[in-house]
Amino acid sequence: MLNAKKFISIISIMIISGLVLTACGNSNDSSKSKITAVGSTALQPLVEEAANEYQQNNNNVSITVQGGGSGTGLSQLQSKAVTIGNSDVFAEKQNGIDAKKMIDHKVAVVGMAPVVNKSVGVKNLSMKQLSDIFTGKITNWKQVGGKNQTIEVINRVKGSGTRKTFEADVLKGKSAIKSQEQDSNGTVKKIVASTPGAISYLAFSFMGDNTLQPISIDNVKPNDKNVEDNSWKIWSYEHMYTNKNIDKATKLFIEYMNSKEIQNNLVKKLGYISIHNMKVTKDANNQIVK
């Protein structure tokens, strides 16, 4: 009987402590407004850092930031499981998402550039050549003035925001050849740096060190300044989507993301381009407006 008694007491302790803990949680909830931002891993570091700074000054708000991918972010927002869906792509371009029910807040711009292994001996390509490489028409570097070496195309996984942007701006509707796919900027960087003949594309923030060769397109260099006036064509927005009926705390946080303080410091520090510096805008159908 002692054992049974012990068992019962353990169970009851667990139940009671559970109740107490949830009660604590509830009291926390009522005094703090909660924001959950889920989605794009490319945007995650920026939102995380911004959320940390924001919470230090506003201790009545608790912000949770998670990755999971742009698709996850948008579908979680659509089912109202989260308050903010982070996305690299326009919601209009994501299958199964009703973009009309969401508000788009653009918080940063990301430039992307083709990168190659240093051994191929090519520093500049025309847009046509680049597109031909990724559609499989050009298969050897000597065809574009490099060494006699087979081209190894390394793609990002289907549905990744970087790939969607690259294909929209470079391939313009043509489909890429089937080839190796990697699911993060970091892995792509590592592979291109070590594989002879490899080509892929990366966000500017991943090209800092000297391990690979960024490619100029039609003699335009991939840098922030060229993105700002659209002479460098491959770039996209980082979006933070919310539902139409947005609560006050979320609204304030998004305003904070777009404030000068964040845009001029954190955004630049982490390798994004400030939304305030852009001289053009791009819409969901990839049309440029000056």
Partner 1 sequence: MEIKKKLLMSSKETRQDKFGKSISYLSIGFIILLVSLILYFIISKGLSTFTQNNVNVWDFLTKQDWSPSSIGKDGKPEVGALPMIITSFGVTILSAILATPFAIAIGIYMSVIAPKKGRKFLQIIIEMLVGIPSVVYGFLGLTIIVPMNRHLFGGTGFGILSATLVLFVMVLPTITSLTVDSLNSVPKYLSDASLALGATRWQTIYKVILRAAIPGILTAIIFGMARAFGEALAVQMVIGNATLMPKNLITPASTLTSQLTTGIGNTVMGTLGNNALWSLALVLLLMSLVFNIIVKIIGKRGSIK
The residue (of 78 and 129) whose beta carbon lies closer to partner 1 is 78
Ramachandran bin of 218, using left for φ above 0, alpha for ψ from -120 to 50, beta for the remaining angles:
left
Q: Count CB-CB contacts under 10 A for residue 5.
A: 9
Residues that bind partner 1 (CB under 8 A): 1, 3-4, 7, 67-72, 74-75, 78-79, 94-97, 152, 154, 157-160, 175, 178-183, 187, 190-191, 194-195, 198
Q: How far is the CB of 182 from partner 1 (least distance, A)?
A: 7
CA distance 170 to 126: 10
**Structural tokens at position 260:** 């000068």
**Structural tokens at position 108:** 């940063």
Q: How far is the CB of 3 from partner 1 (least distance, A)?
A: 8
Residue where the block lists tokens 């139940």: 15
Q: At how many degrees (to 10) do helices 248-257 and 44-57 cross?
A: 110
The residue (of 71 and 114) whose beta carbon lies closer to partner 1 is 71
Q: How far is the CB of 79 from partner 1 (least distance, A)?
A: 8
Q: How far is the CB of 138 from partner 1 (least distance, A)?
A: 18
Q: How far is the CB of 120 from partner 1 (least distance, A)?
A: 14
CA distances (Å), 199 to each of 111, 145, 216, 248, 269, in order?
17, 15, 13, 45, 27
Q: How far is the CB of 126 from partner 1 (least distance, A)?
A: 26
E strand spans, 102-244: 102-116, 124-125, 152-156, 180-182, 198-203, 213-214, 216-217, 235-243
